[in-house]
Amino acid sequence: MRDVQRDPAEVPLPIDRVGVRHVAVPLRVRDRVRGVQHTVAQVELGVELPAHFKGTHMSRFLEALAAADFTLDAQTCRTLLGDVRARLEARRAFLCFRFPYFLERQAPVTGSPAPMDYLCWLRGTLHEEGYHMTLGVEVPVMTVCPCSKAISREGAHSQRALVQVEAQFTGMLWIEDLIAMAQESASSPVYPLLKREDEKFVTETAFAHPAFVEDVVRAVAQRLMTHPRVQGFRVEVESLESIHNHSAYACIEGPGWQSLDFGRGTFGGTLWIPTSAR
């Protein structure tokens, strides 16, 4: 049958990325406590398309996914990228997995347990020059405004903030480590279940540790810079302001950060993800 995708393009311009997204797949992620955690990922796959091709072969992305092993680790992702690149005869292939990861959180005083979800993503690219991957997580935290506390006779405004951490690294990096860095940098972590004793503790702890969004992003960046596995990072903190009709944010891109420029993780377990494996 005629391969229409191979026809010349009416407008002969190269396309940076073309592919499929919002493909749901079952996923196994290594879990520090339980060994393996089962979750569901939304997958995005893409390739570069040269100017002389009219289109790509969308079915081949799904064929590559169907043949993949959905235990998330560096080798699985590199194999999938290599398969996509070969099937599509592309110079560069991209992937992004977005998935919820669950940890059991215990309330700080009563110890009441409940599961809490964290939005995670794994992005990668494979091309002629090498292989690069990043791991990211979004962590909700609580902040108390230092200015509000300093100028107010009574109380201060507090809010939830979102810390997005994305790291390039060598060896093994636990998602739990990234979550802990974010939580330790804020006025307080947030919890899925709190009794009255817990709520009192969280409130008093947070007000004893007020932090601007700038304070939080710097504290996370400092922790990332001293982590022995992290080779490059990007951290962004968004404060969902409680007394303003806008959010405040701050961002630091650390030494060694190499943007993959393949969408933004807005959305772990243990993932073995080398920053470069050739």
Tell me which residue of 30, 57, 34 sits closest to 45, measured CA to CA. 57
In tens digits, the chain (278 residues) has pLDDT values of: 544 455 555 666 888 889 999 999 999 998 888 888 999 999 999 998 888 776 678 889 999 999 988 888 878 889 999 999 999 888 999 999 999 999 999 999 999 999 999 999 999 999 888 888 899 999 999 999 999 999 999 889 999 999 999 999 888 788 999 999 999 999 999 999 999 999 999 999 999 999 999 999 999 999 999 999 999 999 999 999 999 999 999 999 998 887 655 443 333 334 433 333 33
The number of C-alpha atoms within 13 Å of 231 and in the hemisphere containing its C-beta is 15
Q: Which pLDDT value is given to residue 273?
A: 39
Query: Residue for token digits 């059991």?
Result: 104
For residue 134, give the amino acid letter: T
Query: CA-to-CA distance for 263 and 98, rounded, in angstroms?
Result: 11
Structure tokens given for 82: 């290599």
Domain residue extents for the chain = 4-272
Q: Which pLDDT value is given to residue 272?
A: 39
Structure tokens given for 138: 């979004």
Q: Which pLDDT value is given to residue 58?
A: 86
Q: Which pLDDT value is given to residue 14?
A: 81
CA torsion sign for 221, 225, 227, 229 is positive
Tens digits of residue pLDDT in 63-92: 999 998 888 887 888 999 999 999 988 899
Neighbours of 209 (CB within 10 A): 16
Query: CA-to-CA distance for 258 and 116, rounded, in angstroms?
Result: 30
Q: Which pLDDT value is given to residue 261?
A: 52
Query: CA-to-CA distance for 160 and 146, rounded, in angstroms?
Result: 15
Q: Which pLDDT value is given to residue 235?
A: 97
Q: Which pLDDT value is given to residue 166?
A: 96
DSSP state of 128: T
Q: Which pLDDT value is given to residue 173?
A: 85
Q: What pTM, to 2 d.p., does this model score?
A: 0.87
What's the Rg (C-alpha) of the chain? 21
CATH topology of domain 4-272: Urate Oxidase (3.10.270)
Query: Residue for token digits 């992937």?
Result: 95
Assign 141 to helix, strand or coil. strand
Query: CA-to-CA distance for 13 and 194, rounded, in angstroms?
Result: 56
